[in-house]
Structure 1
Amino acid sequence: MTESDTAPFDLVAAQQLLTDVFAAWVQDLQLSVEALHPPGSEGGAGATLRMKFSERICREGGVICGQALMSLADTAMVFAVASASGRYRPMTTVDQTTHFLKPASNADVLADARILRVGRTMAFGQVMLTPAFDVKPVAMVSTAYALM
């Protein structure tokens, strides 16, 4: 990114990060950053992303494929770490465990990514994936990232 480390990590910076840092196939998921949750927020630091529903990411019957859901969760956690840190930090996924709870179908999906701990070299988090019209999660994801 071309922003200095002193620029605030806000929704404008987050949307720019989405286009500057992520691969084209991630951008094809039509993700948008809905909210950033700074440290001290209710529920903890984090971010909320939305993945627009598209037949392109579905299996038979309008069910969103697990690969798209896992990519949404992974991407959302990058924004959660940036929100907790106040800036984007290059990182790589070390571990991601996804528990699918029910099918996601025919709806946008929200990823509420929250930080459990950010250290000097590692970050840990949890992501809840829910349909935009429902509060019952379709998946819960535990994550770990190495910070570069």
Structure 2
Amino acid sequence: MTLKAADGQKILRENFAPWVLELGLVVEEVGDGSAVLRLPWSDRLAREGGGLSGQAMMAAADTAVVVAVAGARGGFVPMTTVQLSTSFQRPVVGRDVLVAVTIGKLGRTLAFADVTLTVDGDPAVVARASAVYAIMG
């Protein structure tokens, strides 16, 4: 089953904690092993100096991997983060962030993903992440 953006949005609504939902993430695309989510700019997510907090970007990346794995599996299954490593490359101020995930390997019990974060309308990378997820279902 191929998932659509609306399916990804439903996965968010039904499976994530309220504080994650408060990030306002929007699923823009779900593919077979990929996903793109939008993290809308919010002053509430800014740290001192006005830049988007790294914690918000990491949470968005972590969440986007779940949607991408669901896309690869044809639907949501229980899973949990085993590893998430993020490198921040430039600040984000006043702009939405696009979180693009590609699943590099999807096994029966583990998924490996690469995540690229950019600001909307600019291909310059603001952060990169790699993640490993344990698939429990």
TM over 0.5: yes
> Which of the numbers 16, 37, 61 marks the counterpart of 1:73?
61
Deviations 1:47-106 (A, max 9, x none): 000011000000123200000000000000001101111111110000000011111111
Task: Please say which structure displays the higher CA radius of gyration.
Answer: 1
> Which of the numbers 92, 104, 125 marks the counterpart of 1:104?
92
CA distance in structure 1 between the partners assigned to 2:73 and 2:15 by the alignment: 17
Conservation of the 8 A alpha-carbon contact between 1:124 and 1:144? yes
Q: For residue 51 of structure 2, what is the amino acid of its counterpart?
A: V
Q: For residue 94 of structure 1, what is the amino acid of its counterpart?
A: V
Quick check: 1:53 aligned with 2:41? yes
Quick check: 1:82 aligned with 2:70? yes
Other-structure match for 1:140:
128
Q: Which runs of 5+ in 1 are unaligned?
A: 1-6, 39-44
TM-score by length of 1: 0.88
Conservation of the 8 A alpha-carbon contact between 2:3 and 2:71? yes
> Which of the numbers 26, 34, 40 marks the counterpart of 2:28?
34
Other-structure match for 1:4:
none
RMSD: 1.1
CA distance in structure 2 between the partners assigned to 1:92 and 1:122 by the alignment: 10
CA distance in structure 1 between the partners assigned to 2:9 and 2:84 by the alignment: 24
Conservation of the 8 A alpha-carbon contact between 2:51 and 2:91? yes
TM-score by length of 2: 0.95
> Which of the numbers 8, 15, 28 marks the counterpart of 1:21?
15
| Deviation for aligned residue 1:8 | 5.0
| Deviation for aligned residue 1:10 | 2.2
CA distance in structure 1 between the partners assigned to 2:121 and 2:4 by the alignment: 26
- Give runs of ≥4 in structure 1 deviating > 6 Å: none
Query: Share of identical aligned residues, percent?
Result: 44
CA distance in structure 2 between the partners assigned to 1:13 and 1:139 by the alignment: 26
Q: Which runs of 5+ in 2 are unaligned?
A: none
Deviations 1:10-42 (A, max 9, x none): 22221111111100000000000001122xxxx
CA distance in structure 2 between the partners assigned to 1:144 and 1:106 by the alignment: 30
CA distance in structure 1 between the partners assigned to 2:21 and 2:99 by the alignment: 16
Quick check: 1:126 aligned with 2:120? no
CA distance in structure 2 between the partners assigned to 1:34 and 1:128 by the alignment: 15
